[in-house]
Amino acid sequence: MQDWRMGGRRQRTKFVLFTLAMLAILLLAFRIASSVPLPQAGEHGNWHKGARGRGPEQQLAWLSDKLEMTDDQKSQIEPILEDEHKQVAALREDSSMSREQKRAKFREVHTSTFDKIRPILTEQQQATLQQIQTRREERMKARRQKKGESSAPQNP
């Protein structure tokens, strides 16, 4: 009878020690995680905004990769993208326009940018760009529809 009780105590002791060790590790992990500073928006630009946060350099690199651009094409397109980036940044800072007005102006700037880029591209690159833009528009439309469905009031 005595052996069984000792075995039970040993198991409980092991369990308590194991639990305390896990708790200590967890507390240490939280302590380390809380001491690491999170990047501020200024340090990484708009890193949390996905595609909107892309600067002209990243946008050019992405387009260049997808469209297999020549160096000459890149050098012609870079200032166009830089100009778009400046216009969009100015629009974001403009508080005189409503959200819908800004959205319309963003579309206008974006359309104008790609109207300037298309003549620089070959026919094949233009076709690829059109496919990319069509897929993007379809995804955005689906997202808007999904958002509309989720925000619509539910009828009992």
DSSP the chain: -HHHHHHHHHHHHHHHHHHHHHHHHHHHHHHHHHHSPPPPTTTSSSGGGGGGG--HHHHHHHHHHHHT--HHHHHHHHHHHHHHHHHHHHHHH--SS-HHHHHHHHHHHHHHHHHHHGGGS-HHHHHHHHHHHHHHHHHHHHHHHHHHHHHSPPP-
Lowest mean pLDDT among 1-5, 36-40, 104-108: 1-5
**What is the largest distance, in Å, between two alpha-carbon atoms of the chain?**
92
Taking only the tens place, the pLDDT of each residue in 115-137 is 999 999 999 999 999 999 999 89
| pTM for the predicted model, two decimal places | 0.59
Residue ranges covered by each domain of the chain: 1-30, 52-145
Instruction: Report whether 73 contacts 121 (CB < 8 A).
Output: yes
Angle between helices 71-93 and 56-67 (to 10 degrees): 140
Quote the pLDDT of residue 96: 94
- Give residue-wise pLDDT tens across range 18-29: 999 999 998 888
- Rounded-to-integer distance, Cα 84 and Cα 110, Å: 7
Structure tokens at 13: 């002791």
